[in-house]
Amino acid sequence: MSEYGHVDLETLGKQIEQTLAIADKSERNAAEKKEVAGRMLLDAKVRLFETKEMPWETFCANYCHVKRAQADLLIRIGRGDTTVEEVKGQQRERYHAHVANKKPPLANSGISQTPNILEETRAKADAAWDKAYSQLMALIQKQDTATLQRLIKELKNGK
């Protein structure tokens, strides 16, 4: 049985209605509190501008624990330049634009063999290193002791 299976539908419907009413009221209260906070921030910003007591960013970070951009947005809400709903709508639009412009993950772009490409590249590099090392060792073995000592000395001196 579901979480609310023991409640008859009429009672469940009333509980849903009450829960939604509380949620709506909470949203209105939150919006009202953001407007009040915006007016308070505006007052603080004006005072800081007049007194030069500290930079606005410092006040926001150290006293309000909000970023400057968020504080400025709340001031716009407090002044009535915008509403919480308008801000939410703009945020939704930015999010959807971001998602629409997002590049597909590698797995969906036809480049699903990336680990194999890396392994092949490493294998080729290792093979090239081994070949170069073998050639170098063959050259070294053909040299006499005096030539090797001179080469070692030149390498140490950076020539």
Whether 60 and 102 have beta carbons less than 8 Å apart is answered as no
Q: Is the pLDDT of residue 106 over 80?
A: no
To the question of pTM greater than 0.75 for the whole model, the response is no
Least confident of 26-40, 111-125, 138-152: 111-125
Reported confidence tier of residue 55, pLDDT bands at 50, 70, 90? very high
Contact 74, 34 (CB under 8 A): yes
pLDDT confidence of residue 5: 73
Give me the phi and psi of 111, to 5 degrees please.
-110, 50
Domain boundaries in the chain? 9-82
Alpha helices in the chain (DSSP H): 9-51, 56-59, 68-79, 84-101, 114-142, 145-157
Rounded mean pLDDT of 85-103?
A: 85
